[in-house]
Every structure is written in C-alpha cells, then in structure tokens.
C-alpha cells in the first residue's frame, strides 16, 4: 500500500471484542483471546498501523472494573481495546432481537422465522449510535474505520449524523438476500440508506453483491455503476460507494502446520481405532437452524436405507457447538436433532456393535477439532444458506494427505470458490444428498486427490491475509482497474455457482 495512506490507523468495530471476558471464582475478570481467523489476521495489522478495536465485551455486567480489565487486555495485545457496554434490555432488543430474530433469519432466506418487533429497530438505532460515539471517542478523524457484520450495519449512518467525514468500510459476514426477501423488512429503505453511507461495502460472494445492488436500484432513485471487476464503484444519490466481493478465508498455513503435529495425528488415529473399519463422516456446526443439521441427519439415514452396503461401513460424527441458547428456536432445534439421532441409532444399532451417529453437543478444544478434521474421510457440510462456511475450508486445509472428500451445500458461500473440487448438493434434497454420500464413499483415490488438491490450492492462494489485504486495498486504491477483472479474478475465474 503505497504512500501516506498505508499507515493510516485502523479502527475495527465488531459486535464482540477479540477477547472474551468472564468473572473468575475469585470475582476477578478472566480474559481469553478469541480463537477465530479474523482475530489472528487483524492483530498484526493493528499492531503495525496502530489503532483500536471497539466491541461489546459479551456481558451485561456493567461494573466499573470491567472497563479496567478491557484496557489492561489492550495493553497486553499492543493496541487499544474499547468496550461498548450494553444493559440487559439492550442485549435483549439489539442482540437477541434485531440482530438475531430479524436480520439473521431474513438474510438467510428464512423470513418466516422473523419477529419484526418495532421496538427492536429503535433499540438497534440506539445501540449503533453508542458504537458510533465510541468510534468518535477514539478516532483522530483521519483513521480508517472497519465495521463488521450484520449487528452493526447502521454505524456509518450514525457516524455521518454525528458529523464524521473520514472513510468507513463495512464487511458483511452473512449472505445478502435477494430483493424478494429483503423487501419484507419494514425498515428496508433506512437500512439501504445506512449501508450507502459507507465508502466500501464488502460481501462474501458475487451473488450477495448482486443482490445488494439490485435492492439499492429498486429503492434509490439514481444508482450508477462504474467498472466490472472484483470491486466496482457506485454512485448512489450523488455519493460514491465502492462495493466488492471478498470471500473470507482461514490462516491456511497455521491449519496445515497444526494438523501435521504428532499430537493431532495420534488423536486422529485413536478415533479410527475407536471406530474401526469404516469411513468417518464429519459434520461440525454451531447450533443454528441455518446449518441444516436435521435434514443432514435424514439424508444420512436415507443413505443407510438406500445403500445397505454402507451399513457398518460409515459413521457420522456430528459435533454441535452451543450457540444463542437463550433464543427459544435454538432450544427447539437441539431437541429435534437429539430426537433424530436417537431414531437413527435406535433403528440401526445392534447390541455391542456399530453406532451409526456419534453425536457430541459441546465445544471442542482446537486440537480435538483438528483431529476430527484429519480423521474424517468425508465432510458433510450442508447449510441451508451460509455466508461462507469456514469449516469447509479448515477441513480441506487439514486434509494433508489429500485423500478426503468434501460434500458441500450449493447454498454456502464457499461453493462459489470450491465448486471445482467439492461434491455440491442441494441440502433440501434428502435423497440427492444420500446418493452423493454413496458417491463419495465409492470415489476412487485418484479422483479424491485431484479434487482435494484443486480446493487446497485455491484456499492457500486466497487465505485470510489475502482477504484483509484486498479489503484494505479496495478501500484506499485510487484506481479500481488494478483489482481482478472478470477474466483473471482468482475467485471469480469460476463464476458463482448457479444451480440448474
Ligand atoms: C459466520 C457466518 C462465515 C466450530 N466448532 C468449534 C470451533 N468452530 C469454529 C470453526 C470455524 C468457526 O467456528 C465457524 O465458522 P463458520 O464460518 O463455519 O460459521 P459461523 O460461525 O456461522 O460464521 C459464516 C463466518 O461468519 C466468517 O465470515 O463463514 O458463513 O455464518 O472457524 O473452526 N472451534 C473450536 N471448537 C469447536 O467445537 N475451537
């Protein structure tokens, strides 16, 4: 990044801080670094350029010693952390309410699950105003502000209303729906207006970006587009907004390195000893209705019914990581999954013998997760809709011998990039997924390797560091033609996957 701009300070704004704060038994705050790739990718950038990370510490406990704990964690990490504290009502109406009972289901095409409670929108605006005020409190005015995800879409609008003029970027980690779905939102115009207050809006895939532009064009009077590469420039009611697709990724080298350790290899071998003479099929998901877990279980059952030769030759390890447990729909989903697991195991299991589904409810330690990735012969990743799905990329990175098969939903953002190697399925097509499981099971070693090699190359070339760098370059570049154009764009060389 040439010139002065390269050292512009960075202020990251996300719903959660990159640290988790919990009170220990002695009443003092315990601090633990978030484990995600985003945190690992942004820490070096923040240390190098200087800046701050603003977010909610994840607790409605507003005691004054929390702020001190947050500041102390910032001192250790090498840049400032700033907490936006929320009271219990705000957590309920902003986080559980607007973010997770409206935007999350709507943007995943599940509008029938939305609770369009008017109070949620009011609180959403109040809370995003708090985040904007926190930005103003730490920004010198010439910083680059990078806002993340659906919880905070309105922050730029609040910042502009407070008179902030410097550049602000936004990245949406979840899908952006088509106009037919988006227009159910009672506050659709206000939200589109809010998004057009950013200078750069980033999406996971070309499809999300197209949906956004179509929505803007339906609502705003004048929307002109310049360019046709990875990043385009829109003029929206006289304002210039850049819009691009930046498929998020993982720290590929770190996954390869860690998956290759003796400890992980031994744990993976132990799993095969426990579950001998069979292919292991893996599903790892947060407990969420978008991840398609019940339909996946039905597809697994259908595979055992349609292909008796698979019985005793495959086992599904399904890990479900607790998430948003305070929302009733999530509790119901857990019951449903556990009922289905019971039915499948009850229907096929023989005393002392094969157990078709190994179900684990809980969070795995990273080393165990890596061992599961390494041990699994087939990953069955079938979300009904997903922004990207990093589990798919992590699984490929950990497939060091390149002998594994990825079965992936065509509705995961990752399908656009991995269609050259994954077996793509429609997660609603129970028998189609069952057939694909059989195909994966019977696939030749040669085909497995060729497919996995293609996917791993693509993930290695566009890792999380590539992602951070391309987003920041798109924010400051003078000339967008330097960005991949349709013919040479690594991740768009294959077009978005379009189901027939
Ligand atoms: C959102 C969007 C988008 C999972 N189980 C355990 C564990 N994990 C880690 C995985 C992976 C992450 O959680 C899950 O990421 P996903 O991308 O698969 O899904 P979401 O949480 O829904 O993420 C998604 C993403 O944002 C990024 O933009 O891809 O579409 O929905 O990194 O490794 N980690 C540990 N134990 C577990 O049991 N330690």
Q: How far is the CA of 390 from the centre of ligand 1 (A)?
A: 6
In a domain, 498, yes or no: no
**Same structural domain, 112 and 90:** yes
Tell me, using a 6 A CB cutoff, whether residue 208 lines ligand 1.
no
Q: What is the pLDDT of residues 345-378, one digit of tens each?
A: 999 987 778 999 999 999 999 999 999 999 999 9
In a domain, 378, yes or no: yes
Q: Residues near 448 by Cβ (< 8 Å), separated by ≥ 6?
A: 402, 403, 404, 405
* Sign of the dihedral through C-alpha 269, 274, 276, 282: negative
Determine the 3-state secondary structure of 294 from DSSP.
Answer: helix
Q: Residues near 130 by Cβ (< 8 Å), separated by ≥ 6?
A: 84, 86
Distances (CA, A) of 59 to 16, 62, 91, 273: 10, 8, 9, 42
**Same structural domain, 277 and 199:** no
More confident residue, 6 or 260: 260
**Same structural domain, 256 and 228:** no
- Domain total for the chain? 2
Q: What are the structure tokens assigned to 333, written together? A: 């989903």
Q: How far is the CA of 462 from the centre of ligand 1 (A)?
A: 18
**Same structural domain, 235 and 265:** no
Query: Where are any strands of DSSP class E within 204-325?
Result: 223-226, 231-236, 239-245, 279-286, 314-321
Tell me, using a 6 A CB cutoff, whether residue 321 lines ligand 1.
yes
Q: What is the mean pLDDT of residues 91-109?
A: 96
**Same structural domain, 80 and 212:** yes
Closest CA to 417 of 380, 372, 379, 460: 460
Find out whether 97 and 125 touch, Cβ atoms under 8 Å. no
Structural domain boundaries, residue 31: 4-249+467-482
% of the chain surpassing 70 pLDDT: 95
Q: How far is the CA of 391 from the centre of ligand 1 (A)?
A: 6
Tell me, using a 6 A CB cutoff, whether residue 286 lines ligand 1.
yes
In a domain, 303, yes or no: yes
Atom of ligand 1 nearest to the CA of 414: 29
pLDDT-derived band at 486 (thresholds 50, 70, 90) equals: low
Tell me, using a 6 A CB cutoff, whether residue 317 lines ligand 1.
no
Distances (CA, A) of 231 to 183, 227, 241, 245: 25, 8, 10, 7
Q: What is the mean pLDDT of residues 88-109?
A: 96
Q: What is the pLDDT of residue 72?
A: 87
pTM of the model: 0.94
Find out whether 371 and 346 touch, Cβ atoms under 8 Å. no
pLDDT-derived band at 41 (thresholds 50, 70, 90) equals: confident
Q: What is the pLDDT of residue 118?
A: 98
**Same structural domain, 51 and 163:** yes
Atom of ligand 1 nearest to the CA of 390: 17
Q: What is the mean pLDDT of residues 213-238?
A: 91
In a domain, 499, yes or no: no
More confident residue, 221 or 138: 138
More confident residue, 225 or 228: 225
Please say if the pLDDT value at position 141 is more than 90. Answer: no
Q: What is the pLDDT of residue 2?
A: 42
- The CATH number of residue 23's host domain is 3.40.50.2000
Q: What is the pLDDT of residues 381-396, one digit of tens each?
A: 999 999 999 999 999 9
Q: How far is the CA of 21 from the centre of ligand 1 (A)?
A: 20
Tell me, using a 6 A CB cutoff, whether residue 247 lines ligand 1.
no
* Sign of the dihedral through C-alpha 389, 395, 398, 404: negative
Distances (CA, A) of 287 to 179, 290, 360, 493: 28, 9, 11, 34
**Same structural domain, 333 and 217:** no
Q: What is the pLDDT of residue 94?
A: 97
**Same structural domain, 292 and 257:** yes
Q: What is the pLDDT of residue 293?
A: 98
Residue of 389, 417, 463, 467 to test ligand 1 pocket, by largest number of atoms within 8 Å of CB: 389
Q: How far is the CA of 426 from the centre of ligand 1 (A)?
A: 21
Query: What rounded mean pLDDT belongs to the chain?
Result: 91
Please say if the pLDDT value at position 490 is more than 50. Answer: no
- C-alpha 413/C-alpha 392 separation (Å) is 10
Q: What is the pLDDT of residue 29?
A: 87
% of the chain surpassing 90 pLDDT: 75
Please say if the pLDDT value at position 255 is more than 90. Answer: yes
Residue of 176, 390, 464 to test ligand 1 pocket, by largest number of atoms within 8 Å of CB: 390
- C-alpha 201/C-alpha 244 separation (Å) is 7
**Same structural domain, 406 and 272:** yes
In a domain, 419, yes or no: yes
pLDDT-derived band at 73 (thresholds 50, 70, 90) equals: confident
Please say if the pLDDT value at position 105 is more than 80. Answer: yes
Q: Residues near 388 by Cβ (< 8 Å), separated by ≥ 6?
A: 173, 204, 205, 247, 248, 412, 413, 414
- Cα-to-chain-centroid distance, residue 179: 22
Atom of ligand 1 nearest to the CA of 35: 39
Q: What are the structure tokens assigned to 492, written together? A: 């768009």
Q: What is the pLDDT of residue 61?
A: 78
Closest CA to 203 of 492, 454, 465, 494: 492
Q: What is the pLDDT of residue 71?
A: 87
**Phi and psi angles of residue 81, each rounded to the nearest 5 degrees, phi first:** -110, 140
Please say if the pLDDT value at position 4 is more than 70. Answer: no
Tell me, using a 6 A CB cutoff, whether residue 290 lines ligand 1.
no
pLDDT-derived band at 224 (thresholds 50, 70, 90) equals: very high
> 108, 148, 151, 173: which is the annotated catalytic residue?
173
**Same structural domain, 442 and 471:** no
Atom of ligand 1 nearest to the CA of 386: 30
Tell me, using a 6 A CB cutoff, whether residue 322 lines ligand 1.
no
Q: How far is the CA of 213 from the centre of ligand 1 (A)?
A: 27
In a domain, 488, yes or no: no
- C-alpha 437/C-alpha 406 separation (Å) is 10
Q: What is the pLDDT of residues 423-469, one digit of tens each?
A: 999 999 999 999 999 999 999 999 999 999 999 999 999 999 999 99
Please say if the pLDDT value at position 500 is more than 50. Answer: no
SS3 content of the chain, % helix, strand, coil (to 5): 50, 20, 35
Please say if the pLDDT value at position 5 is more than 50. Answer: no
Q: How far is the CA of 345 from the centre of ligand 1 (A)?
A: 27
Q: What is the pLDDT of residue 458?
A: 96
Atom of ligand 1 nearest to the CA of 250: 32
Tell me, using a 6 A CB cutoff, whether residue 248 lines ligand 1.
yes
pLDDT-derived band at 37 (thresholds 50, 70, 90) equals: low
Q: Would you call 173 a catalytic residue per the annotation?
A: yes
**Same structural domain, 32 and 88:** yes
Q: Would you call 272 a catalytic residue per the annotation?
A: no
Q: What is the mean pLDDT of residues 2-14?
A: 73
User: Strand 231-236 vs strand 223-226: parallel, antiparallel, or unpaired?
Assistant: antiparallel
Closest CA to 207 of 236, 235, 175, 233: 175
pLDDT-derived band at 131 (thresholds 50, 70, 90) equals: very high
Q: Residues near 254 by Cβ (< 8 Å), separated by ≥ 6?
A: 40
* Sign of the dihedral through C-alpha 435, 440, 443, 446: positive
In a domain, 83, yes or no: yes
**Same structural domain, 100 and 187:** yes
In a domain, 457, yes or no: yes
């Amino acid at each position: 990044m040439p010139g002065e701009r390269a050292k512009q300070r960075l202020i990251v704004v996300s719903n959660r801080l990159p640290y988790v704060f919990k009170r220990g038994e002695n009443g003092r705050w315990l601090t633990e670094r978030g484990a995600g790739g985003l945190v690992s990718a942004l820490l070096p950038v923040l240390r190098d350029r200087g800046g701050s990370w603003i977010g909610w510490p994840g607790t409605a406990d507003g005691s004054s010693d929390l702020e001190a704990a947050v500041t102390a964690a910032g001192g250790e990490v090498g840049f400032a952390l700033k907490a936006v504290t929320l009271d219990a009502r705000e957590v309920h109406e902003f986080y559980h309410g607007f973010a997770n009972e409206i935007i999350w289901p709507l943007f995943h095409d599940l509008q029938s699950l939305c609770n369009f409670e008017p109070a949620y929108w009011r609180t959403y605006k109040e809370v995003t105003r708090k985040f904007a005020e926190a930005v103003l409190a730490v920004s010198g005015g010439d910083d680059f502000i990078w806002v993340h995800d659906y919880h905070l879409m309105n922050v730029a609008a609040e910042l502009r209303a407070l008179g902030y003029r410097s550049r602000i970027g936004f990245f949406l980690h979840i899908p952006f729906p088509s106009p037919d779905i988006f227009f159910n939102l009672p506050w659709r115009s206000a939200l589109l207006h809010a998004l057009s207050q950013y200078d750069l809006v980033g999406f996971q895939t070309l499809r999300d970006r197209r949906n956004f532009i179509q929505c803007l064009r339906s609502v705003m009077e004048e929307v002109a587009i310049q360019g046709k590469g990875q990043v385009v420039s829109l003029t929206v009611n006289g304002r210039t907004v850049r819009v691009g697709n930046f498929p998020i990724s993982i720290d590929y080298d770190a996954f390869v390195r860690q998956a290759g350790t003796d400890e992980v290899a031994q744990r993976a071998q132990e799993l095969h000893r426990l579950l001998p003479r069979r292919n292991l099929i893996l599903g790892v998901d947060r407990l969420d209705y978008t991840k398609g877990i019940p339909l996946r279980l039905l597809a697994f059952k259908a595979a055992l019914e349609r292909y008796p030769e698979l019985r005793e030759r495959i086992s599904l390890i399904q890990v479900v990581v607790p998430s948003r447990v305070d929302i009733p729909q999530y509790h119901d989903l857990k019951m449903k999954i556990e009922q289905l697991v019971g039915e499948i195991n009850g229907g096929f299991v023989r005393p002392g013998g094969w157990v078709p589904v190994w179900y684990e409810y809980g969070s795995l330690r990273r080393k165990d997760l890596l061992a599961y990735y390494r041990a699994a012969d087939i990953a069955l990743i079938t979300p009904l809709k997903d922004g990207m799905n990093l589990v798919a990329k992590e699984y490929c990175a950990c497939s060091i011998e390149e002998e594994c098969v990825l079965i992936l939903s065509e509705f995961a953002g990752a399908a656009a990039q991995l269609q050259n190697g994954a077996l793509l399925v429609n997660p609603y097509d129970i028998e189609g997924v069952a057939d694909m499981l059989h195909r994966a099971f019977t696939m030749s070693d040669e085909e497995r390797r060729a497919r996995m090699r293609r996917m791993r190359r693509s993930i290695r070339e566009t890792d999380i560091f590539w992602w951070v760098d391309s987003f920041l370059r798109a924010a400051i570049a003078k000339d967008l033609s330097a960005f991949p154009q349709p013919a040479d764009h690594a991740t768009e060389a294959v077009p978005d996957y379009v189901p027939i």
